[in-house]
Amino acid sequence: MRRLTLVVCLLVIGCYERRMGAWLGHSYGELITTWGTPTTRHQRSDGGTVLTWEDAELDQGGYQTCRRSFTTDRSGTIVRWAVADCDWRTAHVPQPPRAR
């Protein structure tokens, strides 16, 4: 039973990483259109931007803030993503638009 639980957890984590990673190569505009206005937006010295969305999530110890961030290069293309303090089982990850 432990092995099955471990396999299911690894599959779900892999899906979460794949869903966040699907944004790599997409544009700043597509991200904002799909995710809405970020909680914070920081200009980087290299001309890129870091966009962060924060949501409060209830866990066993109370509330924690789930942070999902994307970094763009100077042209507005998403080059990196990061997640902190999110419950990968429940955190919503909107998907990029399909290529036409």
- What confidence score (pLDDT) does residue 4 get? 46
**Cβ neighbours around 48 below 10 Å, total:** 19
- Dig out the tokens for 5 from the structure: 């639980």
Asked whether the whole model's pTM tops 0.85, one would answer: no
Q: In the chain, which residue ranges form alpha helices assigned H by DSSP? A: 2-21, 28-35
Answer whether residue 2 shows pLDDT above 90: no
Taking the CB of residue 46, how many other CB atoms lie within 10 A of it?
A: 9
- Amino acid, res. 1: M
CB atoms within 10 A of CB 51: 21
pLDDT tens digits for range 31-73: 999 999 999 999 999 999 999 999 876 666 667 788 899 999 9
- For 2-84, CATH number? 3.30.1450
pLDDT-derived band of residue 1, with 50, 70 and 90 as boundaries?
Answer: low
The token pair that represents 25 in the structure block = 């190569």
